[in-house]
Amino acid sequence: MTNNPSNNPPKDSSKQPPKRIVSSSHLVSEKAAELSEVEYGLIVASHAFGMWVVKAMSAALAELELTADLGVLDILCLHSLNHRGRPKKLADICFKLNVEDSHTVNYALKKLVKNGLVQSEKQGKEVFYGTSARGQALCMAYRDVRESCLVDEYAAFDGGRASANAESLTEVARQLRLLSGLYDQAARSATSF
């Protein structure tokens, strides 16, 4: 006879539902419990990404012996403006970054202009923004920090098989874009709920 003090048969762990790693158990749906796990992953990943962006930019600023108090949106706007070296309107930046509140992006742009990282030029009724030489240099310093701290570590973590993981990261990026569309549509639905 086995030593089972409660005289109950041991539970078969294969029949028990897996424990969900979620941020809010009251939101877990019986229809899609996995969605709560995904949402928690998005919360944690978005905050980790934000912390990374700010710390990497701080390191890039230090490399260039510059000072600027830049937040996540400021940094994302700077990189967006530096993309392909073409001036962009406020609406273009908001659209690209999927930011509905243009006031937050406008504030970020003013901050970047004040720090000499971005230049603005009025053309007709529109204002176009582009990175200054200083802003471009900072973006490249950020790239160097990213290469050293993130890309090199990713390559080491991958065991040198970048092509195998590249495909899986491409799939992750595709899934994130699909989720973004799902949440955008759900947000629109919620406005008329």
- When the candidates are 1.10.3720.10, 1.10.10.10, 3.40.50.740, 3.40.50.300, the CATH number that belongs to 34-164 is 1.10.10.10
Look-up: residue for tokens 């600027």?
68
**Residue 184 burial (CB count, 10 A):** 12
Closest CA to 142 of 69, 53, 70: 53
* Token couple for 93: 């930046």
Q: What is the pLDDT of residue 1?
A: 46
Query: 170: which residues sit within 8 A by CB, 6+ positions away?
Result: none
Which residue ranges make up each domain of the chain? 34-164
User: For 192, phi and psi rounded to 5 degrees?
Assistant: -115, 20
3-state secondary structure the chain: CCCCCCCCCCCCHHHCCCCCCCCCHHHCCCCCHHHHHHHHHHHHHHHHHHHHHHHHHHHHHHHCCCCCCCCHHHHHHHHHHHHHHCCEEHHHHHHHHCCCCHHHHHHHHHHHHHCCCEEEEEECCEEEEEECHHHHHHHHHHHHHHHHHHHHHHHHHCCCCHHHHHHHHHHHHHHHHHHHHHHHHHHHHHHCC
Q: Divide the 193 residues of the chain into consecutive groups of 10 and give the mean pLDDT of each group.
A: 54 68 86 89 95 98 97 98 96 96 98 98 96 98 95 70 71 92 94 91
Q: What is the pLDDT of residue 82?
A: 98
**Residue 90 burial (CB count, 10 A):** 18
108 Cα distance to chain centroid: 17
What pTM was computed for the model? Answer: 0.83
* Token couple for 86: 């073409």
pLDDT digits (tens, 9 = 90+) for 21-74: 888 888 888 888 888 899 999 999 999 999 999 999 999 999 999 999 999 999
Q: What is the pLDDT of residue 13?
A: 57
